[in-house]
Amino acid sequence: MSQYFPGSSNVIIEGSTFNTVTNRYQIAKGSIIGGFERLQEYVAHGAFHDSGERFNPPKCHHNTREYVAHGAFHDSGERFNPPKCHHNTRVAIIKRITDWISGLNEDTREALIMWLYGAAGAGKSAIAQTIAEILDDQHFVLASFFFSRNDPQRGTAKLLVTTLAYQLAAKLPGVFRERLGLVFENDPLITTRSLEAQFKALVREPLVELLHSGFSTNNHFVIIIDGLDECDDPEVQARIVDLSFDLLRGRDIPLKILIASRPEVDISSSFDTKPFCTLARIALDDDYQSDEDIRHFLEDKFNEIKTQHRLRSYIPIGWPTEDSLDTLVEKSSGQFIYASTVVKYVASAHHRPTHRLEVVLGIQLPKAGDNPFAELDALYRHILMGVEDVDLILQIIGFVVLHPPHFSNSVTKIEDVLSLAPGDVELLMQNLGSLISVENDPDGPDILTIRILHASFKDYLLDQSRSKDFFLDIVKMHTHYAELCLAHITEHPSFQSYSSLRSFIGTTPCVLIHLNFCVLTA
Maximum Cα interatomic distance, the chain, rounded to a whole number of Å: 127
pLDDT band at 516 (very low <50, low <70, confident <90, very high): low
The CA distance from 301 to 285, in Å, is 23
pLDDT band at 50 (very low <50, low <70, confident <90, very high): low
Task: Residue 273: give its domain's CATH number.
Answer: 3.40.50.300
Does residue 128 sit in the same domain as residue 221? yes
* pLDDT value of position 504: 43
CATH for 459: 1.10.10
Task: Tell whether 152 and 254 lie within a shared domain.
Answer: yes
In a domain, residue 380? The reply is no
pLDDT tens-place string over residues 124-156: 999 999 999 999 999 999 999 999 998 999 999
Q: Give residue-wise pLDDT tens across range 399-447.
A: 888 876 666 788 988 898 888 999 999 999 998 988 999 988 776 667 8
Judged by DSSP in three states, 183 sits in: helix
Residue 45's pLDDT band (boundaries 50, 70, 90)? Answer: low
Share above pLDDT 90 across residues of the chain, in percent, rounded to a whole number:
61
pLDDT of residue 485: 74
Ranked by mean pLDDT, the top range of 11-20, 183-192, 287-296 is 183-192
Choose one of 222, 250, 283: the last residue of a domain.
Answer: 283
In this prediction, residue 244 carries a pLDDT of: 97
Residues 338 and 402 in one domain: no
Indicate if 165 and 189 belong to the same structural domain.
Answer: yes
- Of 251, 283, 315, the residue that ends a domain is 283
Can you give the pLDDT at residue 487?
A: 77
Assess if residue 19 is contained within a domain. Answer: no
pLDDT of residue 91: 94
pLDDT by residue (tens digit) across 492-508?
A: 655 444 444 444 444 44
pLDDT of residue 367: 87
Is residue 372 a part of any domain in this protein? no
Whole-angstrom distance, CA of residue 134 vs CA of residue 338: 26
* Average pLDDT, integer, range 344-351: 95
| pLDDT for the residue numbered 369 | 85
- Structural domain that includes position 130: 69-283
SS3 assignment, position 51: coil
Do 97 and 192 belong together in one domain?
yes
pLDDT score recorded for residue 78: 83
438 and 411 in contact (C-beta within 8 Å)?
Answer: yes
Pairing relation of β-strands 444-452 and 436-441?
Answer: antiparallel
User: According to the model, what pLDDT value does residue 483 have?
Assistant: 81
How far is Cα 519 from Cα 522, in angstroms, rounded to an integer? 5
Q: Region 449-474: what's the mean pLDDT?
A: 93
393 and 495 housed in the same domain: yes
pLDDT in tens, 221-243: 999 999 999 999 999 999 999 99
Q: pLDDT tens for residues 69-122?
A: 888 888 888 877 889 999 999 999 999 999 999 999 999 999 999 999 999 999
**More confident position, 226 or 250:** 226
Which of 323, 346, 362 is the last residue in one of the domains? 362
Over residues 330-359, mean pLDDT? 95
Give yes or no: residues 313 and 245 share one domain: no
- Would strands 444-452 and 279-283 be described as parallel, antiparallel, or unpaired? unpaired
Residues 321 and 270 in one domain: no
Contact 248, 204 (CB under 8 A): no
Tell me, yes or no, whether 224 lies in a domain. yes
**Is 326 part of a structural domain of the chain?**
yes
pLDDT above 70 coverage of the chain, percent: 79
Better pLDDT: 279 or 70: 279
Domains in the chain: how many in total?
A: 3
User: Mean pLDDT in the chain?
Assistant: 84
Report the pLDDT value the prediction gives residue 381, as an integer from 0 to 100: 95
Give me the mean pLDDT over the 194-218 stretch: 94
Residue at 405 is within a domain: yes
Higher pLDDT among residues 477 and 501, named by residue: 477
**Model pLDDT for residues 299-343, shown as the tens digit of each residue:** 999 999 999 999 999 999 999 999 999 999 999 998 999 999 999
Helix, coil or strand: residue 359 = helix
Residues 210 and 338 in one domain: no
Local confidence band at 62 (pLDDT 50, 70, 90 cut-offs): very low
Which of residues 50 and 102 earns the better pLDDT score?
A: 102
Of the candidates 81, 80, 89, 147, the one whose C-alpha atom is nearest the C-alpha of residue 339 is 89
Q: Do residues 337 and 238 both lie within one domain?
A: no
CA distance 222 to 23: 78
Q: Please give the full DSSP string across 109-141, using - where no structure is assigned.
A: TT-SEEEEE-STTSSHHHHHHHHHHHHHHTT--
Whole-number pLDDT of residue 304: 97
For residues 198-216, average pLDDT: 95
Residue 10 confidence (pLDDT) above 70: no
Statement to judge: residues 202 and 302 lie in one domain: no
Of 166, 92, 178, 94, whose CA–CA distance to 128 is shortest?
A: 94
Kindly state whether residue 87 falls inside one of the protein's structural domains.
Answer: yes
Confidence of residue 513 (pLDDT cuts 50, 70, 90): low
Looking at the fold, whether 225 and 76 belong to one and the same domain comes out as: yes
Give domain status of residue 79, yes or no: yes
Q: What's the pLDDT score for residue 405?
A: 63
pLDDT average, residue stretch 382-389: 92
